[in-house]
Structure 1
């Protein structure tokens, strides 16, 4: 079994990793971080070129993956946890990655954003549930 866990820097994403490793102890688990350069631009006060912006986000992703590995290791699951980073639009790229990589189950945190950005952008988890061809578990 192959389980995909999209992650960001949120508590629900950490809960999703923990849920995946405890619920699917024999599965191959992929932690996926989608770097969305358009959203990254809103978080910075200075102007970077596109490549530098992506590089900074990939560095942040490595910290997220380290946390995911620690959670998996706590549950004896580190050996079957792999990590992937893609640059693009989260909803589309999560669903596309799942389709192209024979994913059997997606486990996703209920939300990664809060406040105004969540209202404006809608819920990534909700859209993944609507668009994915495989079962999706939403974790709070």
Structure 2
């Protein structure tokens, strides 16, 4: 079996995201694989994403545009901190939508060989209320999924 050539790394920009990206980069290096880091921002269900946000001195902008911009900056800051000792083709993007569906759609569209993602191992009521993106992806992805238990950094 050949090693992966395209690795998708979904991150939530919370605790452990950096360690997941670092792990994916270490995995990609020996195979010369590309790594695409993805963050999905899901608009709040009780607020329209085209709601305009403004404050004194700012231009009015949509909630979606502001969230995409903020998440993009956080993602860039995260990627500046990762281990860059050996070159790996690395790209990143922010997509709007429900995280599990976005990851599955991107994995299929991009014909990825592997998905590397973190899981917080939530249990009980928290898992029931929030669901598990990792569980959804593992259960429905067409390619292999490597999950890493992440803890606060």
TM-score w.r.t. structure 2 length? 0.74
- 1:18 and 2:53 matched: no
- 1:34 and 2:43 matched: no
- The Cα of 1:132 is off from its aligned counterpart by 0.5
**Bigger helix share:** 1
- 1:5 and 2:9 matched: yes
Is the radius of gyration larger for structure 1 or structure 2?
2
Cα distance in 2 between the residues matched to 1:3 and 1:87: 20
Out of 111, 116, 119, the residue aligned to residue 110 of structure 1 is 119
Q: Is the Cα–Cα contact under 8 Å of residues 6 and 113 in structure 2 kept in the other structure? A: yes
Deviates more, 1:13-22 or 1:113-122: 113-122
Cα distance in 1 between the residues matched to 2:82 and 2:121: 20
Structure 2 runs not aligned, ≥5 long: 54-60
- The Cα of 1:5 is off from its aligned counterpart by 0.4
Q: Is the Cα–Cα contact under 8 Å of residues 52 and 62 in structure 2 kept in the other structure? A: yes
- Give the structure, 1 or 2, with the largest relative contact order (CA under 8 Å, sep 6 or more): 1
Structure 1 runs not aligned, ≥5 long: 42-47
Q: Is the Cα–Cα contact under 8 Å of residues 18 and 82 in structure 2 kept in the other structure? A: no
Q: What is the aligned partner in structure 1 of residue 138 from structure 2?
A: 129
1:69-128 superposed Cα distances (whole Å, 9 cap, x missing partner): 224453333x51111221111111100100010111000111398996544021111111
TM-score w.r.t. structure 1 length? 0.80
Q: CA RMSD in A?
A: 2.9
